[in-house]
Amino acid sequence: MAGAHELVKELTETDVGHKLVVPVRWLDDEVHLKRAFEEGCREVHFGVLDDKGYHFPLCCSIRNGGYRKPVLQAEGWLKFVNYKELKVGDKIIFRPQVDHFRQTIFQVKAQRQNIHGHWVDI
């Protein structure tokens, strides 16, 4: 079961080909991002670490106006997608993990279902 600030998502075609669409409810729970957006920022840059310790810089942006529709922009996100060779139906998990030295706020894990239907790290 996902924790309060954890994001677990099965990837869609948009997610693996363009940008990662992020649920608004996750953004509302994630204080590091929420604070910046409340201060008027429309983009927040941050880093994530994968399970091997590789750092990926990402950018979360929101729309102006009523519905914010947060997304992780293509530039950094697609580097991660390509590095992990992610496909539609794979799963990603973002877990809060603040590392001030590397300026990261999340651990990111990618998973794929094996032939037995079990999720395995990739």
Q: Which domains does the chain have, with CATH numbers?
A: 7-121 (2.40.330.10)
User: What pLDDT does 102 receive?
Assistant: 60
Map tokens 């697609």 to a residue. 78
Residues 37, 27: Cα–Cα separation, whole Å? 9
In 15-103, beta strands by DSSP E: 20-21, 43-49, 55-61, 71-72, 91-99
Give the range among 28-32, 55-59, 87-91, 106-110 with minimum mean pLDDT. 28-32
Residues 54, 69: Cα–Cα separation, whole Å? 28
> 37, 98, 96: which is closest to 70 by C-alpha?
37
pLDDT, tens digit, for every residue of 28-69?
A: 667 667 677 677 778 888 888 898 989 899 998 887 766 678
